[in-house]
Amino acid sequence: MSSPQKTALVISAHSADFVWRAGGAITAHVKQGWKVRIICLSYGERGESAKLWRVPNMTMDRVKDTRQREAQAAADILGAEIEFWDLEDYPLRISDDTLFRLVDTYRTLQPEFVLSHSEHDPYNFDHPLAMRAAQEARILAQAEGHNPGQKILGAPPVYAFEPHQTEQCQWQPNTFLDITDVWKLKRQAIECMAGQEHLWDYYTRVALQRGVQAKRNIGITAKRHIEYAEAYMRLTPLVVEQL
Amino acid sequence: MSSPQKTALVISAHSADFVWRAGGAITAHVKQGWKVRIICLSYGERGESAKLWRVPNMTMDRVKDTRQREAQAAADILGAEIEFWDLEDYPLRISDDTLFRLVDTYRTLQPEFVLSHSEHDPYNFDHPLAMRAAQEARILAQAEGHNPGQKILGAPPVYAFEPHQTEQCQWQPNTFLDITDVWKLKRQAIECMAGQEHLWDYYTRVALQRGVQAKRNIGITAKRHIEYAEAYMRLTPLVVEQL
Amino acid sequence: MSSPQKTALVISAHSADFVWRAGGAITAHVKQGWKVRIICLSYGERGESAKLWRVPNMTMDRVKDTRQREAQAAADILGAEIEFWDLEDYPLRISDDTLFRLVDTYRTLQPEFVLSHSEHDPYNFDHPLAMRAAQEARILAQAEGHNPGQKILGAPPVYAFEPHQTEQCQWQPNTFLDITDVWKLKRQAIECMAGQEHLWDYYTRVALQRGVQAKRNIGITAKRHIEYAEAYMRLTPLVVEQL
Amino acid sequence: MSSPQKTALVISAHSADFVWRAGGAITAHVKQGWKVRIICLSYGERGESAKLWRVPNMTMDRVKDTRQREAQAAADILGAEIEFWDLEDYPLRISDDTLFRLVDTYRTLQPEFVLSHSEHDPYNFDHPLAMRAAQEARILAQAEGHNPGQKILGAPPVYAFEPHQTEQCQWQPNTFLDITDVWKLKRQAIECMAGQEHLWDYYTRVALQRGVQAKRNIGITAKRHIEYAEAYMRLTPLVVEQL
Amino acid sequence: MSSPQKTALVISAHSADFVWRAGGAITAHVKQGWKVRIICLSYGERGESAKLWRVPNMTMDRVKDTRQREAQAAADILGAEIEFWDLEDYPLRISDDTLFRLVDTYRTLQPEFVLSHSEHDPYNFDHPLAMRAAQEARILAQAEGHNPGQKILGAPPVYAFEPHQTEQCQWQPNTFLDITDVWKLKRQAIECMAGQEHLWDYYTRVALQRGVQAKRNIGITAKRHIEYAEAYMRLTPLVVEQL
Amino acid sequence: MSSPQKTALVISAHSADFVWRAGGAITAHVKQGWKVRIICLSYGERGESAKLWRVPNMTMDRVKDTRQREAQAAADILGAEIEFWDLEDYPLRISDDTLFRLVDTYRTLQPEFVLSHSEHDPYNFDHPLAMRAAQEARILAQAEGHNPGQKILGAPPVYAFEPHQTEQCQWQPNTFLDITDVWKLKRQAIECMAGQEHLWDYYTRVALQRGVQAKRNIGITAKRHIEYAEAYMRLTPLVVEQL
């Protein structure tokens, strides 16, 4: 009898964040047989679609539609499920109803880990809010008295993926994920984001830098070759049987 | 063909620190087939032998001798190698010669990880100094131009074990080690420390509290039973292939 | 002519928090002739009543009722007044009306100090929210233009009592309260919490550890015997006439 | 053809904050030909008008009216525009409508920089909220999809002016502004605040202390004479062509 | 039978520091019957005697002599004992011999508390070094094995007095001492420092600002009048029997 | 009459650090007519010359000689003066004599600013030590009583240039320098470092990332084009006449 498929949850404030910041983790786990679900809280239609808005006669619906198609294409390449909750952005607002919907997601999916944004970002208020909701919903999903009878959630670790200007965001990576083997897929997913072409090479360079640093952190004498990596800030302690 | 035995290094400012703070990790890894070497930089003869000094006509030599026998007995129970460098305590001082001796140890032992004290401790200046030496020696051991021709060191992770008053020491645990299976041995090793009997129950309670917390961090729904744990602050990032 | 009775205010997110975290302070001050009022913002009915929810056919009303009876019994043992505001938990939400009700409490009670939760807690979002309300209401109660004519509040110090995993909560104790003489009462109050028996020994060990630390902070040469203590993080400066 | 007039924006939680904390910056830039607009989110009618409330038969309307006249007089002396949004204080609350009104202000004014409160203040919850709104509105004003067609905002630096008890507010000055030449005007503006006379000398001393510190930071060998200064915490990086 | 006289220890890097930063505490405790001993590690002859060095034909001996006479006069006014250890400044260096001399002082004096500099100061490296020595010597003085037979030290609290630019020094006051009643004496002591006349009013303003803040922290409704205060950062927890 | 040539000082722990981390700043200021002096405290012969040590029969002298020639060539391209103090590396040690030599340099050169390493770096202990010496020597150079009669130093700002893994080093950039116009020269200087070819593209990517971030911090509406930048952490406050 096979063990059940492991799952992971990615909570993305805008529809492209998951690609730049966690595309490698998503597809690496898919490749290892996991189911990964991405929730895009908004399309990033106001704040992260500058190029589209420079097209004459652009409308909000067309922006959202374009963003959705790009994100869907990226998710398909990465092999992940994706949901679009269309909560609007700049500013993103999270009602208690949305929070409970996230709780339901946690309880249904029972993820092994959850990825979301940094807890602080002076350049972007939607990102920390998404992370806050990811954390609060996780706590509610653990409460036996919330919808009693449902299967409660365990304690999946929470990771903050990389923000745009790390040092301004009190974000310090403590976990590097080797994504060398899946880099090509991540780059393909990145290239789905036609409206943010200026970021393609930016995040390629991020992956290369993190690759060098990951290699440095296992030591130059280590045999493992790492060229591309993603960096994460794990927010919850690790429990191990071997250091 | 068998793989070579893995090794770990424990750098202890005084001769009993390794027992309270890392006894579980030491014996757990020994049980898993590792070689663990403990270096006691001093005997803690001045600052951590209060009870002995209250014995009439006590001398420095007798204090050191007693402390060495206690620590040796504890190491034997844990299954670890132990060295006594007798550098004196309160204050501990680390010369460059001592530093290079530590470098040699790193290079010869090639440990997979190293354990030492917290980086800050307003109640104890010997502890952070030991950690500083552990870190600086690790860096020197990585330098190709230090004793060229020797095998250089990789990048073993550095963990700070638990200080006495964690919150005053800027010490935040990010790694919990389950020591339930080896707790009895740790307690036996603790009981070798005849001169510090007031700490036996203190560190037993520490292990129980960390056990509860470890269990909480894997989730109450997890099947793994954890009763005793040790907490560590990992100072260097983790490089992984799965989150 | 006697001086007026001194008062203190305890703001507890859930109905058992005040017992684990401040039971010693409450009863110690009651013993010294103070009036102590506890406000339980919620019963902790969803998030901190796991054991009750495992009873077949449990209902929300029965959980709340049980929790209220347990907390009332504990308050009676400690000798404190207790109010149940039943605001619901997981998530706790504080409306401005609740805030103004807290302001009224401050103004009527005129407490010498206030106790509430840590300002940060990644495992629990209700706790920091309760502290935030405690602080904001205190500020509003100082404003001359809020309900002009009422007696305004002075500047009672605010203390954060001990969270479950201190080091993850940016909580650093700067004040230890000796509770040796009242420990028996605190333990009796703890044992009222039938639904959380797994925490009885946990918080007994906390009190013992804090006792050892308190003793260490007055010095082993001090004559005062301390066996049990509670630790607090005072958030506001102390004004003294002698250091 | 002359270059367009430069502008600056000051967001003040209560109607007197801009005087104590930024009066020198305001009038110094006015003197250099800038247009400076001050937005008073509230009159500080409840929390910062203690003296007025001690006048018999005082009413809310009279307090607000007095506060407005004082602030208007101060703004006139400083040469700045001033708006009173009358959002009420203690507690100040910022709706999304208010936020969008701030966005409109940013877009219309296109300020070169914005001044507001410290991000933290345990003694005052209105102040950090005003700063939070100043930052969030700035971000929204940069979003191409917010009211498409309007001229978007660039990236004006954000400065936190000096809170009352700096060290309790996580506020560290990284920028000193020499206000020696405009000090007389600032003091005149300060003296408009009849209701807070106890603060006149307090903030005069602040200016003198900051003057000494500014002088110290350019070096005692520097020729520039500085007697009065204002201190600011710049929150966003500086981009330069010369260090 | 009277209780023994209480004592306090002040460790000052340069010969004038104790006046500006702790003059009020010193004389307030003397007035309450304490013995206060000041140790001036250096005269501040190189780094804090600028005015003297501008006198033609000045020599090192004359600078030291002048500084000693000024500091002695100040100590006499404050009613304290003073020792000059003449260790030289800019840079101050602390040998182990000096450390042991400090240990002897602690053991002989058995102070109830110790005052020294802030732990960090980017403008002054002698100050943090003095504090470091104050802390390390205190720890050594507690060690039973250091000069066994001597009476060991208890655990006197350590306070960091106010540095020149507090916010740059990670210094946050948590204790305000009311010095209103002794202000005149402190000002007289300040005026002994003929070579640093530019600081007389600077530190008078510091005392006034801290007075306003102290008053604010006890509440405007409190009856106690406070005009002048000194601020301290207590580094070690307080142990109390009443909050 | 022309104003005197402005000068800047760069203090580099190892002989290549100045190229990767400050090459753009050096040549940009040289281009603007400044004199820039680089001090290489060591050659980085042990810890940063891995490739050279893999050459058969390599000697310490040949490593140092190669490193000196590379650094000299780079300095020539950048147009800067360079000095090699040959203090040895891994570990670097700074004696008081070296410190006084640095003081002499400050006093002779009278730099407008000084560049050195980050204050913290868990991967490299030589780097923070170099910065510490840079700061302490700067303070000593300001002391009137150090070599009285010499012209004392003013208060040149201190900048920490970019370490290898910024987030692990408590290094947060607050100043971006546009180096677009001088990038070609920096890249040429980089290519002089034959022994560290693996870093050429790493630091080219750093410059591109910082360029994107600098552009973002002036706003996408700004006309200035920035492609390459260097990031700095300014440690001392800025004193300005306009915000």
- Give the span between the Cα atoms of A60 and A47, in whole angstroms: 12
Q: How many Cα neighbours within 13 Å face the side chain of F102?
A: 31
**Chains that contact C by 3+ CB pairs under 8 Å?**
A, B, D, E
- Those residues whose C-beta lies under 8 Å from the C-beta of residue B97, and which sit 6 or more positions away, are none
- Give the span between the Cα atoms of B86 and B92, in whole angstroms: 10
**Within a 10 A sphere around the Cβ of F223, how many other Cβ atoms?**
5
Query: F146 touching E, CB under 8 A?
Result: yes
Residue A118 pLDDT > 90:
yes
The alpha carbon of residue D209 is apart from the nearest alpha carbon of chain E, in Å, by 7
Return the pLDDT at B6: 98
Residue F119 pLDDT > 50:
yes
Return the pLDDT at C182: 98
Q: Which residues of B touch C227 (CB under 8 A)?
A: none
CB within 8 Å: D165 and E205: no
CB within 8 Å: D125 and C139: yes
The alpha carbon of residue D62 is apart from the nearest alpha carbon of chain F, in Å, by 36
Task: Point out the residues of chain D with pLDDT beneath 50.
Answer: 1
Residue C1 pLDDT > 80:
no
CB within 8 Å: F212 and A220: no
Give 3-state DSSP helix, strand, coil % of chain B, rounded to 5.
45, 15, 40
**Within a 10 A sphere around the Cβ of E51, how many other Cβ atoms?**
16
The alpha carbon of residue A151 is apart from the nearest alpha carbon of chain B, in Å, by 10
In a domain, residue D109? The reply is yes
Query: C97 touching D, CB under 8 A?
Result: no
pLDDT-derived band at E32, boundaries 50, 70, 90: very high
Return the pLDDT at B168: 97
pLDDT in tens, C120-173: 999 999 999 999 999 999 999 999 999 999 999 999 999 999 999 999 999 999
DSSP B88: -
Residue A173 pLDDT > 60:
yes
Return the pLDDT at E2: 62
Interval E158-164 mean pLDDT: 98
User: A71 — phi, psi (to 5°)?
Assistant: -65, -40
The alpha carbon of residue C55 is apart from the nearest alpha carbon of chain E, in Å, by 40
CB within 8 Å: F202 and A220: no
Lowest-pLDDT range, A217-221, C214-218, D96-100, F182-186? Answer: A217-221
Residue B84 pLDDT > 70:
yes
Print the domain residue range for E32. Answer: 7-234
- The number of folded domains in chain D is 1
Instruction: Please report the DSSP string for F196-233 in residue order.
Output: GGGGHHHHHHHHHHHHHHHHHHH-TT-------EEEEE
Interval E46-51 mean pLDDT: 94
**Chains that contact F by 3+ CB pairs under 8 Å?**
A, B, D, E
Tell me, rounded to whole angstroms, the distance of Cα D51 from its chain centroid: 23
pLDDT in tens, F202-221: 999 999 999 999 999 999 88
Q: Which residues pair with C175 in a beta bridge?
A: C232, E238
Provide the 3-class DSSP secondary structure of residue F14. coil
In a domain, residue C221? The reply is yes
The alpha carbon of residue E146 is apart from the nearest alpha carbon of chain D, in Å, by 39
pLDDT in tens, C39-96: 999 999 999 999 999 999 999 999 999 999 999 999 999 999 999 999 999 999 999 9
**Within a 10 A sphere around the Cβ of C56, how many other Cβ atoms?**
4
In a domain, residue F168? The reply is yes
Give 3-state DSSP helix, strand, coil % of chain A, rounded to 5.
45, 15, 40
- Give the span between the Cα atoms of A190 and A24, in whole angstroms: 10
- Give the span between the Cα atoms of B48 and E140, in whole angstroms: 11
CB within 8 Å: B53 and E139: no
Query: Nearest Cα to E155, choosing from E239, E243, E212, E94?
Result: E239
Radius of gyration from C-alpha coordinates of chain E:
18
E63 and E16 Cβ atoms separated by less than 8 Å: no
CATH number, position F164: 3.40.50.10320
In a domain, residue F242? The reply is no
Higher per-residue confidence, C220 vs A184: A184
**What does the block give as tokens for B21?**
């703070």
Query: Nearest Cα to C94, choosing from C82, C81, C103?
Result: C103
Return the pLDDT at F2: 61
Residue F156 pLDDT > 50:
yes
pLDDT in tens, D15-56: 999 999 999 999 999 999 999 999 999 999 999 999 999 999
User: B154 — phi, psi (to 5°)?
Assistant: -75, -135
In a domain, residue C122? The reply is yes
CB within 8 Å: B212 and C202: yes
F and C touching (3 or more beta-carbon pairs closer than 8 Å): no
Above pLDDT 70, what percent of chain B? 99
Could you tell me which chain C residue has the CA closest to the CA of B207? Answer: C205
Return the pLDDT at B1: 47
Query: Nearest Cα to E174, choosing from C174, C154, C178?
Result: C174
Return the pLDDT at E11: 98
Could you tell me which chain B residue has the CA closest to the CA of C167? Answer: B172
pLDDT-derived band at C2, boundaries 50, 70, 90: low
**What does the block give as tokens for E222?**
């409190």
C and D touching (3 or more beta-carbon pairs closer than 8 Å): yes
Query: B96 touching F, CB under 8 A?
Result: yes
Return the pLDDT at E99: 98
Query: F202 touching A, CB under 8 A?
Result: yes
CB within 8 Å: A50 and D236: no
In a domain, residue C60? The reply is yes
Left (φ > 0), alpha (ψ -120 to 50) or beta: where does C111 sit?
beta
Q: Which residues of E touch C221 (CB under 8 A)?
A: 152-154
Query: E142 touching B, CB under 8 A?
Result: yes
Could you tell me which chain F residue has the CA closest to the CA of A167? Answer: F172
What's the whole-number average pLDDT of chain B? 96
CB within 8 Å: B174 and A234: yes
Residue C209 pLDDT > 90:
yes
- Those residues whose C-beta lies under 8 Å from the C-beta of residue E58, and which sit 6 or more positions away, are E52, F148
Q: Which residues of F touch A123 (CB under 8 A)?
A: 216
Query: C175 touching E, CB under 8 A?
Result: yes
Q: Which residues of A touch C46 (CB under 8 A)?
A: 143-146
pLDDT in tens, B173-206: 999 999 999 999 999 999 999 988 889 999 999 9
Return the pLDDT at E196: 87
**What does the block give as tokens for A39?**
């929730």
**Chains that contact A by 3+ CB pairs under 8 Å?**
B, C, D, F
Query: B50 touching E, CB under 8 A?
Result: yes
Write the burial class of residue A225 (CB in 10 Å: 0-12 exposed, 13-18 middle, 19+ buried).
exposed
Q: Where are the alpha helices (DSSP H) in chain A?
A: 17-31, 50-53, 60-78, 96-109, 126-141, 183-191, 200-218
Q: Which of B113, B175, B239 sits opposite A178 (nearest CB)?
A: B239
- Those residues whose C-beta lies under 8 Å from the C-beta of residue D3, and which sit 6 or more positions away, are none
Could you tell me which chain D residue has the CA closest to the CA of F152? Answer: D221
CB within 8 Å: F205 and A202: no
One-letter amino acid for residue C210 of the chain: R
In a domain, residue D97? The reply is yes
Above pLDDT 70, what percent of chain E? 99
**Within a 10 A sphere around the Cβ of A172, how many other Cβ atoms?**
18
Q: Which residues of B touch F123 (CB under 8 A)?
A: 139
F42 and F92 Cβ atoms separated by less than 8 Å: yes
Left (φ > 0), alpha (ψ -120 to 50) or beta: where does E146 sit?
beta
Return the pLDDT at D2: 61
pLDDT in tens, F9-47: 999 999 999 999 999 999 999 999 999 999 999 999 999
Residue B2 pLDDT > 90:
no
Q: Which residues of A touch D137 (CB under 8 A)?
A: none
Alpha-carbon torsion, ordered C157, C161, C163, C167, to 10 deg: 60
Return the pLDDT at F3: 75
**What does the block give as tokens for F208?**
């591109």
C130 and C41 Cβ atoms separated by less than 8 Å: yes
Query: C1 touching B, CB under 8 A?
Result: no
In a domain, residue E240? The reply is no
Provide the 3-class DSSP secondary structure of residue E39. strand
